[in-house]
Structures are given as structure tokens and as C-alpha cells.
Structure 1
């Protein structure tokens, strides 16, 4: 049976002499925790698009092969990142009277964790979490929905839908931040957008011109709260 990655790695270094080991400073061992820390450092400084196994290895001062002794691939790294952020989420004891408010609070916590690291919510999209911390949060959210009297399948689907919205919202916010350049201010400026809408031909865009203020109103957090409440308020306990 082929040797495991860690065993092969150990064998490669078995020929080091005692003199070499004594004269060289001992490097801090590579661990899953250090890999996750380095990955978050990359995303925090450069955005999620810059995250690669090679880039994380460079932060740790090692080669990619050293990381593969601990992680399988980039998807595995994504799972670790989602798990690390999930560990920061505080879950309440499900309350049958306050379940909507509890869900709003927990999903807002998740949003805020995503917003700390530009684009990291992509790691949570199109994947089934296996990290125990991510599963803890999912279990807690599901329990709150069930405590609210939501039928199990409806609760499961609602959990997926809201999670997708929260991830997409955070991703959009990171994209907006990347577009904030002097020559592209109109992309994120409400005043400029309002001006453009009201300047449209009235015969072609009557509603856009008339309701330009409403179409451009509200901050990102305002619209996040509106959408989340819209979904939650339309979840009805089963009879």
C-alpha cells in the first residue's frame, strides 16, 4: 500500500543530518489551523479571487505539497474557511415565540462574517458543508425553524433559500467594493444613478423616471433587512 502523504513527507526529510537540524531554526509545523489562518489572511488582504493553494503555501513559507499532507484540494480549503467563520456564530436556544427574530439575528451574524473577507461567501455557495462548525450552525437554524412550527421540508428549503440569499448579498457587496474607482463612481453613487434615471426618455421609461427615488432608495443593510424579513414573514407555521 502506498505511503500516506504525511509518511512520504517524513521520508523525504529523513536524510537530514543532525548538524543541519541543529544549525537551522526549527520551522513551526504546518497544521490545518495554520493553513486556515493563512487562507483568511490572503482573502482579507487580496480578496477571495486571489486564494489558491500555492498562494496560501507562500504565506506559510512552504510549498503546495506541504499543504496536501493536510488538505485534499481547494474545495477542502473552502470547507475549512466556512467552518472557521461558522465557529464565530452564536446560536440561541430555539424560542417558539421569537423564532423569526432569532433567524434574523443568526443570518445577520453570518452576513457580517462574510463581509469581513471580500468574496469569501463564494466558498459557501454550491457546496454541501461537512465541517462540524458549519453543520452546527445549520442544525441550529433548522431547529429554530422547526420550533416556529414550520413543516420540515419547508424549513429545509427555506434554509437553503435564505442561505443562498445571504451568500449572494455578501458577494455582491464585495464586488461593489472592488468597483470603487474614480472613473467608475457612477456604479455605486446613488446621486448619479438618480440623475441617470430621471434623464431617461419619458415615453420609454415612464415608471423608472417617476419612481427613480424609490428605485435608488435605501442602503445595502436596509435592503438586506427588507428581503430577509420578507422571506421570514411569509413562512407560515403548519396548522
Structure 2
């Protein structure tokens, strides 16, 4: 029998356990934050999800802040590198919106990272700096002033973040009945419970088949294109 001792606190690398690496920690941390929010990302919860002890985590990372930085880096890795085509700027805008939505939709509550956490500046991926620069350059190239380009990028972030949080997050986790009610100004059961309330337009809409999250997002993107068209300099 060997007398060699494993480093204290480090999890065994046998028995089905995946070796605990920074890459694994970042992935699992983002999974937790994306589904439940960063407040739920504790070292104990992270250790439980990975299947190791808390002490084992501290063999790999210094503290929770490093875990947040790793999750932020992982989030940036998920984001697509957009291709900007000034000759087809409308198609480009549609694609950028769709790609961003798809990425954030997979980890919707992680979009609140700027509210819940502070990422260490030196650990911010270079991609996080280059992507906004390329987006702004595209908007300026199609005829927007820098001031209006900044505004359009702000609209884009609010719309994509807001949609993934307020619409996709619930839509993806609900049954068909809830999904139908989400797109009515007033849910049908509420209207039925208050027949005395004069709300003919809401009742008319509630009596019609509801759309889908994709329908609503497509309409949002077309409105964004209309806004950009109005801001372009001729």
C-alpha cells in the first residue's frame, strides 16, 4: 500500500470526477449565474454543483472574485464575433440582434452581471473591448454620427438584455398556456375575473391567438432598423 499522500483538499481524479480546472469553474459558475443570477453563485453552491469540496476550489482559485472573473470571461466566449456588412446593413442588424439574443438566451440572468458584480478590469477579455469598437465603426460607416451610434448601441443592449430577461427567460420555462398569456396586454383569466371592467381592446386581443417570442423579437428588430434608417445622415 502506498504511503504517498494526495495534496490536501484536492479532489481525486478518479471515480468519474472531472479534474477541477479554472475552465470548469468558469463554465459551472456561468451556468449557475445564467439560470439563477450571480447572488446564487456562492463557493459552497459551486462546489456542490461540481461535486467537490469548497477547499478543493481554493486549490484552483484565490477567492469568489476570481470565480466571477472566470464566469465573465466565459460569458464573453459565448458571444459571437459579428460580421458587419455595410453593403447590407439592414441584414447585418437583423443578424447581430439574432446572434446576440441566442447567446444571452442561454444564460439570461447573467446579463445582470454589471448590476450584481464588479469584474476585475485587468481580467476583462480583449474581446469585450474590441466588439463595441467594431459595432460603433459599422454604425458610423453606414451614416450615423458617433453620438447616434452610441445611442443605437445602447438601444441594442437594452432591447436584447431586456428581451432575454423579461420574455425569453419565462417563455422558455413555461407551458403553452402561460406562453399564450404572455403576449396579451391583460391575461384572459384576469379579464374573466373582472367582467365589469371596461377594456374592450384588451378583451379583443385576448380572444385572438397569441404570437410567439420569435414574432415579438422580429418586430422589435424591424423597429430598430426603422430607427437607424431615420438617424442615418444623407
TM-score w.r.t. structure 1 length?
A: 0.69
Partner of 1:157: 151
Query: Within 2, Cα distance between the matches of 1:212 and 1:57?
Result: 46
Partner of 2:46: 56
2:232 is the counterpart of 1:237: yes
Consecutive unaligned residues of structure 1, counting only runs of 5 or more, are 1-17
Partner of 1:209: 203
Q: For residues 35-79 of structure 1, what are the alpha-carbon distances to aligned partners after superposition, in whole Å with 9 as ceiling and x for unaligned?
A: 2122244457x6446433332233162425345427625653452
Partner of 1:20: 5
Q: What secondary structure, in the 3-state scheme, does the structure 1 residue paired with 2:4 have?
A: helix
Partner of 1:10: none
Query: Within 1, Cα distance between the matches of 2:225 and 2:53?
Result: 47
Structure 1 segment 125-204 matched on structure 2, within 5 A:
130-172=124-166, 173-178=168-173, 180=174, 187-190=178-181, 193-194=187-188, 197=191, 201=195, 204=198
2:25 is the counterpart of 1:32: no
Consecutive unaligned residues of structure 2, counting only runs of 5 or more, are none
Shift of 1:225: 1.3
2:111 is the counterpart of 1:116: no
Shift of 1:85: 1.4
TM-score w.r.t. structure 2 length?
A: 0.70
| 2:213 equivalent among 211, 220, 236 | 220
- 1:195 and 1:38, CA in 2 relative to 1: closer, same or farther beyond 3 A? closer
Query: Within 1, Cα distance between the matches of 2:156 and 2:41?
Result: 26
Query: Within 1, Cα distance between the matches of 2:140 and 2:189?
Result: 47
Partner of 1:4: none
Query: Within 2, Cα distance between the matches of 1:198 and 1:21?
Result: 66
2:70 is the counterpart of 1:80: no
Q: What secondary structure, in the 3-state scheme, does the structure 1 residue paired with 2:87 have?
A: coil
Query: Within 1, Cα distance between the matches of 2:11 and 2:195?
Result: 71
2:92 is the counterpart of 1:102: yes
Alpha-carbon RMSD across the aligned residues, in angstroms, is: 3.8
- Number of aligned residues: 213
- 1:142 and 1:31, CA in 2 relative to 1: closer, same or farther beyond 3 A? farther
Query: Within 2, Cα distance between the matches of 1:164 and 1:136?
Result: 19
Query: Within 2, Cα distance between the matches of 1:60 and 1:210?
Result: 52
